[in-house]
Amino acid sequence: MSDFTHGFWPLYISVLTLVSIIGTWVFLKSQTTRKLAPGEKPELIEHTWDGDLQDLNNPLPRWWLGLFYGTLVFALAYLVLWPGLGNYAGVLKWTQIGEYEAEVQAAEAQFQPLYAGFMKQDIATVAADPNARAIGKNLFLTYCSQCHGSDAAGSRGFPNLTDGDWLYGGDPDTIKATLTDGRAGVMPALGEALGAQGTKEVANYVLSLSGRKHDTALAATGKTKFAENCAACHMPDGTGMQAMGAPNLTDKVWLYGGSEATIIESIAKGRNGVMPAMAQTLGTTSNKDAKLHLLAAYVYGLSQKQ
């Protein structure tokens, strides 16, 4: 009930709940106090069906009344023991958060010895362990598949983790650093600086770097503009710079697409790629470091199959 922003609502819910339970009890009691005297016949109500089916006001069966009263007693006992009346926490002080944290702690304690064993091994060794890969895959599906896909093949704007192309480096330590601290890749918008024609020229030069179909004349002019505006990050030969996460433009791998229109869009408007820090996503669990270790090993192993 912590979402309440005004003290009126917890009180309103508490009063409404209790009035409903007590009101139901009183109404039921008022309708079941009269008993038939010896020899007295039940009163006939006017409704009659099929000629001989009559509706009589017989007292309700005692077993049925007992069950009904039992539900009301159960409701009151529940509201005393567990939260249900506004901000009242209940005698047992139970909360969903507390239940979740208790389950997490139990799981952490159960798996801690297994995690400790993996932490003693380097990432390459862990990546070769089938049990470690199974755990890493589950972690990947939980925390990473939303962006990179369940098969880790990525999608537009999200890198393919199964090939050998890495923006920041594919060695074990770099992968673990990427997972732990996240990445923020920024491609500045150069549309205003280059103009429409200059952007098209640079785009054609970029196409030429990877051997794609391009306009030779535009590419020749764009080479100079590339050296002035792009080489600082992508290097003069276009092979990229992993220290900055600047892609290699000479291969066949394209994060956002390799058509002329898409490259022009990237140059003109820029790109902003964010990889969240898994150290924050995994929370403060005692086995967080081990999970990062296993996740890094799984990701590292994906590209080693090529």
What is the band of 2 on the pLDDT scale with cuts at 50, 70, 90?
low
Where do the domains of the chain lie, and which CATH numbers do they carry? 8-33+42-81 (no CATH), 104-182+276-304 (1.10.760.10), 189-272 (1.10.760.10)
Q: Is the pLDDT of residue 123 over 70?
A: yes
What is the band of 167 on the pLDDT scale with cuts at 50, 70, 90?
very high
Task: Report DSSP state, residue 249.
Answer: S
What is the band of 286 on the pLDDT scale with cuts at 50, 70, 90?
confident
Distance CA 40, CA 190 (A): 98
pLDDT at 209: 96
What sign results for the dihedral spanned by CA atoms 20, 26, 31, 32? positive
pLDDT at 225: 97
What sign results for the dihedral spanned by CA atoms 52, 56, 62, 68? positive
pTM of the complete model: 0.71
Q: Which residues contact 168 (CB under 8 A, 6 or more apart)?
A: 174, 178, 183, 242, 243, 245
The enclosing H or E element of 223 equals helix 216-229
Contacts 24+ apart (CB under 8 A), 105-109: 108/285, 108/286, 108/287
Give the SS3 label for residue 273.
strand
The enclosing H or E element of 98 equals helix 96-119
Give the SS3 label for residue 117.
helix
Q: Is the pLDDT of residue 45 over 70?
A: no
Query: Per residue in 59-107, pLDDT tens?
Result: 778 888 899 999 999 999 999 999 988 888 899 999 988 998 889 888 8
Mean pLDDT taken over the chain:
89
**Which residue's structure tokens are 């992968």?**
175
pLDDT at 1: 47
Query: Per residue in 198-225, pLDDT tens?
Result: 999 999 999 999 999 999 999 999 999 9
